[in-house]
Amino acid sequence: MSRTVGYRAGLAPEFLVTAGLLEAISPPVDRGGVILGCGSRNEPLSVSVLRPLPTRLVLVGGLYLARQVALRAMATGAWVLVATARPAAWEQLVRAAGPGPDGRPAPLVHLRALEPVELPQASADAPLLVVHDGGAAPQDLFPPRSPWQTTLYVLPYLHPQAEDIARTADVVLLQRLPVAQAQLAAGMWQLPEPMTRQLSALTDDATVALGPDLWLPLRLVTTPAEQEILGPLRRD
């Protein structure tokens, strides 16, 4: 069984994707959940990305994990809109979606500039993941405002100006932080010293899921097919 962390999973609708995309992910047991990795006993652990509530996720770490979360959300039923100043870094997702019936790229992923834009209406039949790749201190251009909309903020490092976004997140995924960054995290979330030290000692294939009454270290897992899309697992 998989364990869903952070909050109760919502139900995502059935969704058609290419066979290659399905092969690239580990299908979640809880619909709406995205499996990220394994716990200390090698049990699968998932995060509820799609739910019938406005949802805010924050990832402090590398692009690899951010793209992995988006890829797996696509396979569970989400439309993905990526707002970024580096669209080339996200082209793998467009290619992974494959062609539509007309031979053009399937409309599962949209890349947009970092500027306000009217979002599609999210619903149980069409949940929406907005990836905000706007640097360490992003403007809050796409706050989650409706059910079935999730906004994922990709922060390359922890910045004091991002504290409001980080502290109001439903779940924060923290990859390895330098000592000074770990101390900043300790101040934001009132972490005890052992947890603070653990943040600066995480390996490349590790992350910590942090939330209200939640501290869950996990080991990231990447499938061979996923590596063909994203490359080998790394923290970058």
Structural domain includes residue 47? yes
How far apart, in Å, are the Cα atoms of 192 and each of 47, 153, 163, 174, 210?
24, 25, 18, 16, 13
Structural domain includes residue 235? no
The pLDDT value given to residue 100:
60
The pLDDT value given to residue 204:
94
Structural domain includes residue 232? no
Rg (CA), the chain: 17
- pLDDT tens by residue, 12-59: 333 334 444 444 334 444 445 788 889 888 888 888 888 899 999 999
Structural domain includes residue 118? yes
Structural domain includes residue 236? no
Q: What CATH number does the domain containing 92 carry?
A: 3.40.50.300
Structural domain includes residue 145? yes
Q: What pairing do the DSSP bridges indicate for beta strands 33-38 and 44-48?
A: antiparallel
Structural domain includes residue 192? yes
Structural domain includes residue 195? yes
| Res. 11 pLDDT band, cuts 50 70 90 | very low
The pLDDT value given to residue 223:
84
Handedness of CA 130, 111, 227, 74 (dihedral sign): positive
Structural domain count of the chain: 1
| Residue 138 reports pLDDT greater than 70 | yes
What would the mean pLDDT of 177-190 be, rounded to a whole number? 96
Segments forming the whole domain that contains residue 99 = 3-226
Residue with tokens 């360490």: 136
| Residue 83 reports pLDDT greater than 50 | yes
What would the mean pLDDT of 188-212 be, rounded to a whole number? 95
Alpha helices per DSSP H over the chain: 19-23, 63-76, 91-97, 163-167, 179-189, 193-199, 224-230
Query: 3-state DSSP call for residue 207?
Result: strand
